[in-house]
Chains A and B, each alone.
Chain A
Amino acid sequence: MTKQISVFIENRKGRLGEILDVLKEAGVNILSLSLSDTAEYGLLRILSDKPKDGKEALSKAGFSCMLSDVFIINLPHTPGSLQNILRVIADEELNVEYMYGLSFGGDEASIVVKTSDIEKAEDVFARHAIKTLGEESCM
C-alpha cells in the first residue's frame, strides 16, 4: 500500500500551478499524478517521494487535502495484462473507486488503484499472486 496526496482544486486559472509551486518549495518530487474534474472543481491525486511532507505543506498553504491509501500494481508491459488483472478484480467483486497509470520506464508498467475495501483488496491480490508495491518501493 502507498500513501497518495489527494487535493481539492477549483477549476480556476493558475490553481494547479499554485499546488505545484508549494510542492516544489517543499522539495517534494512527483512520480505520477491524475486530475479528474467536474465543471466546477476537481481532485488532484499525486504520488510522490515524500507524501507526508507534501500533504503538510499543502495544508499549511490552505489547500483542502488528505493522504489516502492506494495500491500500486506492477504488470508486464504487454497487451492484455491490464485486462487480466481487471478480470480478477471484477470476479472478486472488488469495488474500484478510481485508477490511473504510472510508469517508471523499463519493462514493467504499473497501475494505481483505489478501492473502498482495503483488507479485501489485500486478500484478493495475495490469493491471485498480484504483486503490489509497498510504501518504500515508491520512494
Chain B
Amino acid sequence: MIWSKEETLSRAEMEKLQLERLQETVKRVYEKVPYYRAKMDEKGVKPEDIKTLQDLQKLPFTTKQDMRDTYPFGLFAVPRDEIVRIHASSGTTGKPTVVGYTRGDLDTWTDCVSRIACMGGATSKDVSQICFGYGMFTGALGLHYGLENIGSAIVPSSTGNSEKQLMYMKDFNTTLLVATPSYALRLAEVAREIGIDPKTDLSIKTALVGSELLTDAMREEMHLAWGRDVNITSNYGMSELMGPGVSGECLEHCGMHINEDYFLPEIIDSVTGEVLPAGEKGELVITCIKKEGLPLIRYRTKDVTRLFYEPCACGRTTCRMENLSGRSDDMLKIRGVNVFPGQIEEVVLSVEELGPHYEIIVEREGYTDKLTVRVELNKETDSFAELQRIEKVTKNKLKVVLGLDAKIRLESPNTLQRFEGKAKRIKDLRKVNTKGEGK
C-alpha cells in the first residue's frame, strides 16, 4: 500500500513542490537563524538567489561540527516555546547533537515513518514490537508513532531481556519486528537456546530494520533465522534530519525511496564538495525542506550511496538511494587500503562454518597495520585439519575481497559481545598511540 499521494507525483510536480519548499525554508532560516545568515552572507548568497533547484548548490553545507558549535539549540529556527520534543544523538564521538521538533514536525515525522512502514509491508493488522531503545535515541519513538498511525498495535518492548521479548512475541502473536539487523539475529539465537523456533513458533511476517547497515549477506542470514517468507526491508534516517523516515526500501528491494518532498537529496564528492550527477557514488547531502524546528541546509550525512530517479515497479516515483555501502567515517584505512566493515561482514557470513557475529581489530606493529578478525565457530569438530581449513577459507576470501592479509581468530560460540542497539564491531587500537592516524 502507498501511504501518501506525494510518493507518486510526476518528476515535474515533485520538483515544483521541492522548489517552493526550498525557497520558503531558505528565506526562513536566513531570517530566523543567525548562524545560517552569517554563513550565507559569507558566501554572498541571499534567499532570493534561489530561483531553481540547481541554485541549491550556492548554499553552504552544514556539518555535525556546526551542530556542536551551536550546541544545544543554536540552529533552531523557532522560539524554544514552539519546540515540543527534544532528542539527541548518542554523542559517542563528542558532544551529542541535539534536535528539536515542533508539533508540525512530529506530524511530518509520523507521516514519513508511516510511508516507510507501508513500503516494507506493514498494515493496520500488524502487531508491531519495537525492539529499539526508547529514550533520547530517535529510532524507537519514530517507528512507534509511524506504525501506530497506520493502525498497527504497538508493543513498546524496547531493548534488553531477550527472553521476555520472545515471550511477548509468542504470546501476543507479534507479526512485525523493529530492530537492528544484529539484534534481530541475536533474538533468533536466544529463541533457539530456549527451545523456540523463530520460523514455526513465532508469527513474524515483516521486519523493519535500521540504524545499522543491512548487507545482502546479513539479509540472507536473517532469512535463514526468521524464515524465507519474512519481508525484510531496511530504512534510513538520522536524528539530525529527523530520525528514521528519511528513506526506506519497498518490497521490490531496489534501493530506499527517499521522502523527497521533505528531504531534498544531493550526492557530492566528499573531498571537493562538488555535486555529482545522478547514478554516481558519493556522499549523501540532505536539505530539510519542510522542517520547522531544525531545518538543516545541505547537511553532510557522511553516508556513501548513489541516487536513481527512474520510477519503481512498486508504483512510487520518488528518488531511490542505493543501500548504503558504508559511512565515509566508518571506513578504515589499513595498510593504505580502504576497508568498509561491511566487506568483512559479507565474508564472515559467507563461510557457513562461522556464526554471524564478528569483531575487527586493527593494531600497529612497528610501522605495519595488522588486521585481526575474531569469529565464532559454528561447527562442531574433532579435527585440527578441519579448523585450519575453516581459517584458511576465511582468510583467502578476505584476501580476495580486501586485498589484505588478515589473521583469523576462531572462538567458541557466544564469546563475542552481542549488541542491542548499534553494533560496535571495530577496535582500532592504532589510535591509542598514534594520534591523528587510524580511521
Which residue in B378, B387, B412 is a CB contact (below 8 Å) of A62?
B412
Residue of B nearest to A62 (CB): B414
B382 touches A10 (CB 8 A): no
Chain B residues with CB below 8 A from A103, complex form: none
B413 touches A41 (CB 8 A): no
Cβ of A44 to closest chain B Cβ, rounded Å: 10
Chain A residues with CB below 8 A from B415, complex form: 10, 62
Residue of B nearest to A42 (CB): B384
A10 touches B412 (CB 8 A): yes
Interface 9-residue window, one of A63-71, A78-86, A119-127: A63-71
Cβ of A96 to closest chain B Cβ, rounded Å: 13
A8 touches B387 (CB 8 A): yes
B382 touches A62 (CB 8 A): no
Residue of B nearest to A38 (CB): B384
- In the bound complex, how far is the Cα of B201 from the Cα of A116, in angstroms? 39
B382 touches A66 (CB 8 A): yes
Cβ of B186 to closest chain A Cβ, rounded Å: 14
Cβ of B49 to closest chain A Cβ, rounded Å: 63
Residue of A nearest to B382 (CB): A6
- In the bound complex, how far is the Cα of B415 from the Cα of A36, in angstroms? 21
Chain A residues with CB below 8 A from B330, complex form: none
Which residue in A8, A40, A62, A114 is a CB contact (below 8 Å) of B381?
A8
Interface SS, B side: loop
Is B103 in the interface zone, CB < 8 Å from A?
A: no
Is B410 in the interface zone, CB < 8 Å from A?
A: yes
A45 touches B413 (CB 8 A): no
B 403-417 contacts with A by CB, 8 A: 409-415
Residue of B nearest to A45 (CB): B382
B412 touches A40 (CB 8 A): no
Bits for B316-352, please: 1 = Cβ < 8 Å to A, else 0: 0000000000000000000000000000000000000
Chain A residues with CB below 8 A from B409, complex form: 40
Bits for A1-44, please: 1 = Cβ < 8 Å to B, else 0: 00010101110000000000000000000000000101011010
Cβ of B120 to closest chain A Cβ, rounded Å: 34
Other than the given A6-B380, A43-B382, A64-B381, 11 more pairs (CB < 8 A) read A4-B382, A8-B381, A8-B410, A10-B410, A43-B383, A43-B384, A64-B378, A65-B380, A66-B380, A66-B382, A114-B382
Interface residues of A (CB under 8 A from B): 4, 6, 8-10, 36, 38, 40-41, 43, 45, 62-66, 68, 97, 114
Interface residues of B (CB under 8 A from A): 377-384, 387, 409-415
